[in-house]
């Protein structure tokens, strides 16, 4: 069952998504060698609660924290811990917020200290893949057009696309129908209509597409332990052009001032 949102509901999802965006930016200020992901998690939770929201992931199916923190070969769903981050690491952070009964969901992969050029390239292409997917998320297209756009951009740059984890509808629930795969065929799948709110979230690997799950029941790693990147926006399907409800602007501003 797909729930198409009213403009009022879209406005509330946007508010939650912008709180996610600003939470990312608060965390981005602190990302450097030596900081721990538990410290980042604490800052994120406080910031969300100070702004009238509730962490969207904490307690979701038993997930213990506010942020999913996934360094290097971890793809998604890593649990914050007290190990200091080292220079050269990439760190995928996924954050969700519930506010006024509606969720927002956005992920970004950060560089910690000095990162190798081939890994920087992976981040750049993954982020571009997300925007290729968003360009395809217009009324009249189909879900497969989004996946095709993401997959095509990632693979033509020599990377692979995780199959087992996908984007999703967003609304009063964190994960709603339809599934939004990062691979697919043009013209296939659910038809996109105005008011459909979805999270598009490419998980792109430098090596093989296969993944493994750790014994903690959460953490997903690449099967060959090569790096993986993850960028995600919550968007609403519109005629002609999707509207991005989350934002990387606050993050980019912080990162620009750090360098």
Nearer to Mg ion, 21 or 107 (CB): 107
Beta carbon of residue 202, minimum distance to Mg ion (angstroms, whole number): 11
Q: Does 180 bind Mg ion (CB under 5 A)?
A: no
Beta carbon of residue 204, minimum distance to Mg ion (angstroms, whole number): 15
Instruction: Give the footprint of Mg ion on residues 93-132 (CB under 5 A).
Output: 94, 105, 107
Beta carbon of residue 237, minimum distance to Mg ion (angstroms, whole number): 16
Q: With CB under 5 A as the contact rule, which of the stretches 13-21, 121-129, 194-202, 216-224 interacts with Mg ion?
A: 194-202
Nearer to Mg ion, 26 or 105 (CB): 105
Instruction: Give the footprint of Mg ion on residues 10-29 (CB under 5 A).
Output: none
Single out the residue of 27, 119, 166, 199 in contact with Mg ion (rule: CB under 5 A).
199
Q: With CB under 5 A as the contact rule, which of the stretches 4-12, 140-148, 150-158, 200-208 interacts with Mg ion?
A: 200-208
Beta carbon of residue 215, minimum distance to Mg ion (angstroms, whole number): 23
The answer to whether the beta carbons of residues 87 and 113 sit under 8 Å apart is: yes
Q: How many residues bind Mg ion (CB under 5 A)?
A: 6
Q: With CB under 5 A as the contact rule, which of the stretches 45-53, 141-149, 230-238, 245-253 interacts with Mg ion?
A: 230-238
For Mg ion, the binding residues (CB under 5 A) are 94, 105, 107, 199, 201, 232
């Amino acid at each position: 069952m797909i729930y198409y949102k009213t403009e009022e509901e879209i406005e509330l999802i946007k508010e939650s998504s912008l709180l996610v965006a600003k939470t990312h930016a608060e965390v981005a200020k602190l990302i450097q060698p030596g900081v721990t992901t538990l410290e980042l998690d604490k800052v994120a939770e406080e910031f969300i609660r100070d702004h009238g929201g509730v962490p969207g992931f904490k307690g979701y199916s038993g997930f213990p924290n506010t942020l999913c923190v996934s360094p290097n070969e971890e793809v998604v769903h890593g649990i914050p811990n007290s190990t200091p981050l080292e220079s050269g690491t990439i760190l995928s952070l996924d954050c969700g917020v519930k506010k006024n009964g509606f969720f927002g969901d956005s992920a970004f992969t950060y560089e910690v200290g000095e990162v190798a050029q081939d890994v920087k390239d992976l981040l750049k292409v993954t982020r571009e893949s997300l925007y290729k997917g968003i360009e395809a998320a217009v009324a009249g297209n189909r879900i497969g057009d989004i996946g095709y756009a993401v997959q095509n951009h990632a693979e033509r740059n020599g990377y692979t696309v995780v199959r087992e984890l996908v984007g999703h509808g967003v609304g009063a629930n964190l994960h709603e129908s339809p599934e939004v795969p990062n691979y697919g065929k043009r013209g296939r799948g659910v038809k996109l209509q105005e008011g459909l709110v979805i999270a598009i979230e490419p998980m792109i690997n430098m090596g093989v597409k296969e993944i493994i799950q750790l014994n903690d029941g959460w953490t997903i790693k690449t099967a060959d332990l090569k790096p993986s990147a993850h960028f995600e926006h919550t968007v609403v399907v519109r005629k002609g052009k999707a509207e991005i409800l989350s934002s990387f602007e606050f993050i980019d501003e912080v990162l620009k001032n750090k360098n």
